[in-house]
Structure 1
């Protein structure tokens, strides 16, 4: 029998599978219960989260990013007058490779299991203005807001400066 030829058992196979439950789930009405935690894989690489108290602004994440999706934003000055910089992720460019998480010396940068990012736009906006608006909204400074559901993390306890 050549590939693509019908078998005499095809109707029987259809009848056998007719009363089976589907394997797929109806997200978001049904929650995936496969892993110890509800939802996606426990090591899923979703949106970034950053413990801003631990982050020293070394820009290692910016240097390692293969798509130049991370920039450093000045958020203030310290007592000595030096600028305090924190990473800002452009999710339009990010490939979620987690190199930034692996290279973070203070282990402050992690990836959460959150993956839905919504942007509301105004209906009266022109198409060109809407594109620029969405581009700017995709640039986010990771903070502790998504830290309740950590996904990918290096898992190493790192020592900084000794």
Structure 2
């Protein structure tokens, strides 16, 4: 973690002491669960410790903490929604597929990572990519379903594949 221009661990500790219980209460009111609130409050401060983009001086620390916590809540809900869809699809699969718990966990993590990679793309680009990769539809089928041309489908697929490919390269570097 770079400390130039970012919050030092001691500053995060001070934020924690001053605002942790307030943040936990704020999250509890929104989530309705003390356990989830405690987890997300903790994750908020871990995110601050691991970030190199946190301002050294926070004029509005509670506003900043709620922004970080909201992003974490959004990620939490997206993951829950994705996990629920995965479990529903798994329940519909033939019983002879029989994935091990480890394989199921890896598959779910892959889906979460794919969701994260595609998150910044326009919805129609994500939909075209998923129709191609998950449903196995042809370019013509995707174009008909989405009401766009085949060349547009190809552009969308290239855009989504580039996002996945270049994101993968950033993990290697």
Q: TM-score range by the shorter chain?
A: under 0.3
Which structure's residues are more often helix, by fraction?
A: 2
Give the alignment's TM-score, normalised by structure 2: 0.22
Greater C-alpha radius of gyration: 1
| Higher normalized contact order (CA 8 Å, seq sep 6+, divided by chain length) | 1
Give the alignment's TM-score, normalised by structure 1: 0.23
